[in-house]
Structure 1
């Protein structure tokens, strides 16, 4: 038995997962940890260990910022669940008219860069903003407040919950609830006691991701929180990295505080998932037919349309209005509108198309790499019988607890060592490593939730008939988790194509991405040109999600 377990632990699947996690996650995090312990690491010295800890943790504002960070994460999680879970359940169990269109519309908010969406909301709700110009009043007091920050961030994160829960509930199906109804349970009781509990893996995984995204997001708290007097840990980390004198040890120490907060949420998720079994895929065919909405058809369509209008249409209209404006001060008048910004983008006179090509290529590569590594890592954690899988699971959640700028610093410290014979530093590969490190938790969490619902008997049967662990994974398990995995890869692609902070720090000289291009236009005062680039990017990046979502809608042919 011990030899069997050891052999299982050293299977090719587990080795690939462990090697990938070490390269993508452990190496940069190790150097962040070393920087926190040894303040002079950047100068090649290990002197005065732990000397920076007391100064960073002794900051009187630290407790308040930590509590604000927890509050922000909890509120965004709660509001995201309130919006996304009802929509996801309706999408999974009923024939919602235009289901693929709603999927696409709900993906777009996640694809809009948070700093762009926040600027769009500022230009809409601020005094003399678009809302004031059209209707005569503004909502600046709401926007520059804690509820306003939570509202804007939720519109960016609720698609994570929507896609995860809808795919999970769709996998569970209505078969178990139908059995409960045969024995006298009403529809509501069958849902609350059967369907929703069996969907816990997808719900817990997505809410963990939302919490991690909320506590590490920089753009929205920086733009809205300062005017509201609402400081969080990530803005404090940015000050230590960007303001002179640079305090890399202090930034690393505060980042470790974020790690502990994220790990607390991670342990809560683990506790929820290990309390009971959530296996629903046993090899028996399941009924996938969805129910008709009947008299609830119009109210459901109205609900989906309302969320799509607020989350997708309003930000897009604000971005488009700014992109069409010749001058920001000119306002929403016909004489101030034109296509000059789009002409400059499409003519590539400012290098926009080169930046677009670079980001799309990196986004696709990051989605493929994190998808493969995420599936392998989730298998190693959930299915492999091996010691140390808890350590692997911990490595998968680490990146989402670290701000992108700290990940970038860790990559610089790790790969800019003079003794390395070959290094990706100062090449486009360093950007790919940064994106993979930051975004790996999403495919891992989605795949982990899917593996928790697959019984062990399917893989065991394949092994009995001579399949190797890698073959059983590729031919049996991977097709079963493919819908959830593809959904997570879409999210990785959406984020990677517009990631800002790490791109600004580690992008090689002469390499421009979408986010760095937009950021530079903002710095130069060309807000309209930056918004035009953002709008063109959103339009182009919807093509791939549309194709993939269509394939997922016909997943029977995929499997």
Structure 2
């Protein structure tokens, strides 16, 4: 096995995972009878799409929710990130941990938790006699629920950018007569603009591809989005593959347009501060503003983390919701039922953990190979390899699900993963591949270009250098990315709903079905266990990354 074989194998796997599903979506969109093996009526589906009466409403709802979430996430995450990165606040790691929890909480679980708090006869009304039902079930409510789940993306992007770059240039500006505000506006803010733009872009794409929150709140709020209609076209009889494909192309176009706009606005480059040697960034003193900043961060943490988290945990130990929040209504029966032999929870948990482990291993190895071939070997055609490996970052989960259905639900395949657990594994690998590619690629760039050539000079082959030199050095970043893939894959919802074969449940499908059946207690008990598992895994990943940085 040589480098050429690895290059061909890696490209082939990326084509199967990423390119083929996209190609089949486009073919189905162009040829409405493609699923029946016919190439007639090219582009006739466009007229059907344009004549769909709900299309303007769906487009408007998707764009309004996406832009609203990006803006609200920036309004929350940017000042908190600036406070964390610029100033020496008390308990800095506590704030990072607190704002990590919304990222680990699946949006659909957050939405269901807020429903239990704010709806009519919810926990808020039981405790204080009022409810926010009308606010929750509205477009504003959907935006707020999603933003409270997504804003950590901007918080961590901004705070980490500040912690990495330090305030050397801003202090130089102040030495030369600039006020603190002027130095921030003309020096610090331009340096933060790429991180802020990237965070807002990610917030927008996460919002427009979200299915769980619009499905849970949108039907009662009268808000339509592309994701929910795509799922409806695939779930309701008669199945409309052509319509689902057309809407998928529209959704991908919106996501890719957002990526293009972000690159255009930031000039397609990053702003960096280069110093002669690494320095530790010591935050400035906030003076009299220290405790007001702490109070604001605590308030946001209480609203975004404590309230939905308490709702989730409380619902898992209440005998009945109608029984109210009383000591007599507390029970451990929901947790006992999860692990009883009569329930499906153990099977769902085992399926999710197995699939997540498989996805983590496959994406870890494939991400390492892709990043190594692009960054270190600089092979011919590396631009295509890099694009295919990072393309899933702009692909909504529902689009990946549609593409895999169109690709593998074909009679001409002698062996097909469709209608088996393998189709779920393929979907997770496609969606989460960018995590290892980005982490390992970043680690490889930090190694410099001298170690592998030195090994080659002393007689090592490219594969020996990869195995004995590169892999040990990037393994912490690779393992951290694999842990994140494991945590996210173990609770992925939309592709699981679309692709799970009959008789197979994952954790996310189990929780969703429990709510549909009215078994809120068991659903929230499972959600609590899922969140704790994800938090432990993410903290492990962060610990590995920090040890790697110190090393």
Sort the TM-score into its range (normalised by shorter chain).
0.7 to 0.9
The match for 1:220 is: 213
Residue 29 of structure 1 and its aligned partner are, at CA, apart by 1.2
Q: Is residue 377–residue 444 contact of structure 1 (8 Å, CA) maintained in 2?
A: yes
Change (3 A) 1:24 1:193: farther
Change (3 A) 1:115 1:464: closer
Change (3 A) 1:168 1:17: farther
1:266 correspondence with 2:259: yes
1:304 correspondence with 2:300: no
Report SS of the residue matched to 2:316: helix
Residue 374 of structure 1 and its aligned partner are, at CA, apart by 5.3
The match for 2:44 is: 51
- The equivalent position to 2:540 in structure 1, one of 517, 539, 547, is 547
Aligned pairs for 1:452-491 (under 5 A) are: 459-460=448-449, 465=454
Quick one: distance in 2 between partners of 1:288 and 1:230? Answer: 48
- CA displacement, residues 59-110 of structure 1 (integer Å, 9 cap, x when unaligned): 2332332122112111111111121122223333444433333222222222
The match for 1:289 is: 281
The match for 1:6 is: none
Change (3 A) 1:520 1:232: closer
Q: Is residue 214–residue 228 contact of structure 2 (8 Å, CA) maintained in 1?
A: yes
Residue 195 of structure 1 and its aligned partner are, at CA, apart by 3.4
1:79 correspondence with 2:72: yes
1:278 correspondence with 2:271: yes
The match for 2:97 is: 104
Change (3 A) 1:230 1:330: same
Structure number with higher relative contact order (C-alpha < 8 Å, ≥ 6 residues apart): 1
Quick one: distance in 2 between partners of 1:400 and 1:248? Answer: 23
- The equivalent position to 1:246 in structure 2, one of 239, 247, 251, is 239
Change (3 A) 1:463 1:554: closer
Quick one: distance in 2 between partners of 1:78 and 1:529? Answer: 35
- CA displacement, residues 165-212 of structure 1 (integer Å, 9 cap, x when unaligned): 333332222333344344333333333333343344433333222111
Aligned pairs for 1:60-139 (under 5 A) are: 60-139=53-132
- The equivalent position to 2:204 in structure 1, one of 208, 211, 215, is 211
Quick one: distance in 2 between partners of 1:164 and 1:487? Answer: 17
- CA displacement, residues 409-433 of structure 1 (integer Å, 9 cap, x when unaligned): 3213323444445543344332121
Gaps of 5+ in 1: 1-9
Name the TM-score, length of structure 2 as normaliser. Answer: 0.86
Q: Is residue 175–residue 287 contact of structure 1 (8 Å, CA) maintained in 2?
A: no
Aligned CA RMSD, in angstroms, stands at: 3.5
Quick one: distance in 2 between partners of 1:188 and 1:451? Answer: 35
Q: Is residue 164–residue 487 contact of structure 1 (8 Å, CA) maintained in 2?
A: no
Change (3 A) 1:19 1:207: farther
Quick one: distance in 1 between partners of 2:484 and 2:41? Answer: 42
Residue 371 of structure 1 and its aligned partner are, at CA, apart by 5.5
Quick one: distance in 1 between partners of 2:547 and 2:193? Answer: 25
Aligned pairs for 1:21-36 (under 5 A) are: 21-36=14-29
Report SS of the residue matched to 2:44: coil
Residue 147 of structure 1 and its aligned partner are, at CA, apart by 1.6
Name the TM-score, length of structure 1 as normaliser. Answer: 0.85
Report SS of the residue matched to 1:205: helix
Report SS of the residue matched to 2:63: helix
Report SS of the residue matched to 1:329: coil
Q: Is residue 19–residue 388 contact of structure 2 (8 Å, CA) maintained in 1?
A: yes
1:41 correspondence with 2:25: no
Gaps of 5+ in 2: none
Report SS of the residue matched to 1:47: coil
1:232 correspondence with 2:220: no
The match for 1:338 is: 331
Residue 514 of structure 1 and its aligned partner are, at CA, apart by 0.6
Q: Is residue 459–residue 472 contact of structure 1 (8 Å, CA) maintained in 2?
A: no
The match for 1:7 is: none
Aligned length: 543
Change (3 A) 1:441 1:148: farther
Residue 365 of structure 1 and its aligned partner are, at CA, apart by 4.1
The match for 1:257 is: 250
> Which segment is superposed worse, 520-529 or 336-345?
520-529
